[in-house]
Structure 1
Amino acid sequence: MKTIIAIAITLAASFAQAHSGGTDSAGCHTNSKTGVYHCH
């Protein structure tokens, strides 16, 4: 049971951080939907 919970947490964290769009040399980019420029 602990293994399933650990896997679920790992997958949820990876999906929460992932999004499309490359970053510039500063690690930033403009969100194509909102037009907001942000960095990671």
Structure 2
Amino acid sequence: MKIITLVLAAIIAVTSVSAIAHGGRTDKQGCHNDKKAGTRHCH
């Protein structure tokens, strides 16, 4: 039972990354303009 719980926790931890940060200039709120999409997004 402990092994299953540990494996499940490891899978959740690895797959729970929802955003990957990338380089680029950001403002004081951590946001920047996406010139290709014409939108603004934050990290």
TM-score of the superposed pair, with normalisation by structure 1: 0.54
- Larger helix share, 1 or 2: 1
Question: Identity over the aligned pairs, expressed in percent?
Answer: 36
TM-score of the superposed pair, with normalisation by structure 2: 0.53
Greater Cα radius of gyration, structure 1 or 2: 2
- RMSD (CA atoms): 2.1
Mind listing any 5+ residue stretches in structure 2 that lack a counterpart?
A: none
**CA pair 13-33 structure 1, distance change in 2 beyond 3 A:** farther
Paired residues in the alignment total 39
